[in-house]
Amino acid sequence: MNDTLSLLMNHRSIRKYSARPVMDEDLRAIISAAQMASTSSNVQAYSVIAITDAAQKQRLSGLAGNQAYIVECPVFLVWCADLYRLKKGADAHLADKQAYADSTENFIVATVDAALAAQNAAIAAESLGMGIVYIGGVRNHIAEFSEALELPELVYPVFGMCLGYPDQEPGLRPRLPVEAVLHQGTYNCNGIETEVAKYDQVSSAYLSERTGGKNSTPWSELMARRLAEPVRLHMQDFLKQKGFMKR
């Protein structure tokens, strides 16, 4: 186990932050590290919006589920898939050629680019003693959230990220067994139920300890509840209105 693996294996979501500020030079270093993540064909199809103003964080928190740590963290980062910059940069060279910035493939490219860059940023932040938590709630009211950030066409907020110095030491959440995730040569459907059952025991024990015995719901049951809930069904219409996935 080297230092890099140790850092990765000790990741945890941080939802309580100290008052210690994030220095501008550290934020720039984190974003610079994010920029070195892999990117499809070097399109770099993402942008990051850093929010430090208390009133703006309060407003965005209200649109993202009223999660207190959005307000309390020193810096709230919004990671956006961004094909607008790509299209603007290329327009002068396209002449009469048809552009496909609105394709589903380019939507996937931009979304993956944003996710890869954000994870680089998370690791960079943790290497500096900071902590993060991802915020999918930015998609709860995504049209209003996008309007608040003045996002143009072909830009959408993929997720938010709270950033700051931890004021808590949460336990490590166990993950699925490697055997449930790693396949050799082809996808192996055999044994999935067995591996999930093993993880159910581990995750149930973890949840029971974390809640002082108040909750021990196994992972598979929690996932069944999630799949049965119609979450953010507005996303498809919103993305198409923003110019994504038209073909």
Instruction: Please report, in tens digits, the pLDDT of each residue of the chain (247 residues total).
Output: 899 999 999 999 999 999 999 999 999 999 999 999 999 999 999 999 999 999 999 999 999 999 999 999 999 999 999 999 999 999 999 988 888 999 999 999 999 999 999 999 999 999 999 999 999 999 999 999 999 999 999 999 999 999 999 999 999 999 999 999 999 999 999 999 999 999 999 999 999 999 999 999 999 999 999 999 999 999 999 999 999 999 9
Sheet containing 75-82, strands listed edge to edge, beginning at the edge strand earlier in sequence: 46-51, 75-82, 155-164, 131-135
Query: Helices in the chain by DSSP H: which ranges?
Result: 3-9, 24-35, 54-63, 68-72, 84-94, 104-127, 142-148, 178-181, 192-210, 219-227, 235-241
CATH number for 3-172+229-241 (one of 3.30.1380.20, 3.40.50.300, 3.40.50.720, 3.40.109.10): it is 3.40.109.10
Q: How many CB atoms lie within 10 A of CB 87?
A: 19
> Which residues face 75 on adjacent strands?
163
Residue from 168, 183, 101, 175 nearest 132 by CA? 168
State pTM to two decimals: 0.95
Terminal CA-to-CA distance of the chain, rounded, Å? 46
